[in-house]
Amino acid sequence: MLTAGALGVLEGLTEFIPVSSTGHLLLAGHFLGFDSPGNTFEVVIQLGAILALLVVFAGRLTGLFLRAPQDPAARRLIFGVALAFLPAVVVGVAAHDVIKRVLFETPVLIAGMLVAGGVVLLLVDRLPQRPRFTRAEDLPLRTAFAIGLCQCLAMVPGVSRSGATIVGGLLLGADKRTAAEFSFFLSMPTMAGAVAYDLWKSRDILDFSAMADIAVGFAAAFVAAALVARWLLEFVGRRGYVLFGWWRIVVGLAAILALTLGAAG
């Protein structure tokens, strides 16, 4: 149960920052010897992070939908998120089995993607900022769709869904806060859809026998994700993404070293 709580906290802390929560969970589970048939635990505790984001953004979401009938900017953001979500649906359904059976079972690939993604974050964060969009509502539909295409890169564990969408947003003209905010909005349908589809595909092998562990992990993910979601936008607006880039590199290199020593031993 202590391991379940720790993994829940790890999920909540890393879900919305560009460091790959899936990569962290899979690597932590690998080194801790934590086994969940059908990845039931890892799938269900993501719902805690989704719920936390809905709670934190409840006021923003309610206002957005209430304004939509009269406000073109609100409608553009809603349609933009829906449009950005579509590529992940197509790729996720088409490649689901390869992702779960091959990519999820390759720790060295996950660690390598953490390092590579960290280098990309550091490089992009150093680019001169000439933002054209300073609100998520300002993003044109074609830009939102392009960010959705970037999100598909995160089908490879270790890349990071939020990392791919944030980097895509930055390169397409959004400022740092706007890129993170749009990533938050896009994460809601993406995560909900991914969890629902994964549970359906794995329905024959799901194991809910360890309900106490799942409940602890869910609650821990909810609390940790709520704290991160409240803090992240202000942090990246002032500090950028350098911290997360170095975090990815250190964790990825440490994992590669551990895997190498384990294989040698």
- pLDDT (tens digit per residue) in 12-61: 988 888 898 888 888 888 788 877 665 677 777 888 988 998 998 899 89
Higher pLDDT, 70 or 205: 70
- pLDDT (tens digit per residue) in 186-236: 999 998 888 888 778 777 766 666 678 888 989 999 999 998 888 887 888
Q: Is the pLDDT of residue 8 over 70?
A: yes
**What are the DSSP calls for the chain, one per residue?**
-HHHHHHHHHHHHHTTTTT-HHHHHHHHHHHHT---GGGHHHHHHHHHHHHHHHHHTHHHHHHHHHHTTT-HHHHHHHHHHHHHHHHHHHHHHHHHHHHHHTGGG-HHHHHHHHHHHHHHHHHHHTSPP--SB-SGGG--HHHHHHHHHHHGGGGSTTS-HHHHHHHHHHHTTB-HHHHHHHHHHHHHHHHHHHHHHHHHHTTTT---S-HHHHHHHHHHHHHHHHHHHHHHHHHHHHHTTHHHHHHHHHHHHHHHHHHHHHHH-
Check residue 122 and give its pLDDT: 93
Report pTM. Answer: 0.87
Check residue 197 and give its pLDDT: 83
Can you tell me the distance from the alpha carbon of 46 to that of 21, in angstroms, rounded to the nearest whole number?
9
Domain assignments of the chain as residue spans, ordered by start = 2-264
- pLDDT (tens digit per residue) in 147-190: 999 999 988 888 888 999 999 999 999 998 899 999 989 999 99
Can you tell me the distance from the alpha carbon of 13 to that of 50, in angstroms, rounded to the nearest whole number?
12
Higher pLDDT, 265 or 257: 257
Q: HSE on the CB side for 141, CA within 13 Å?
A: 10
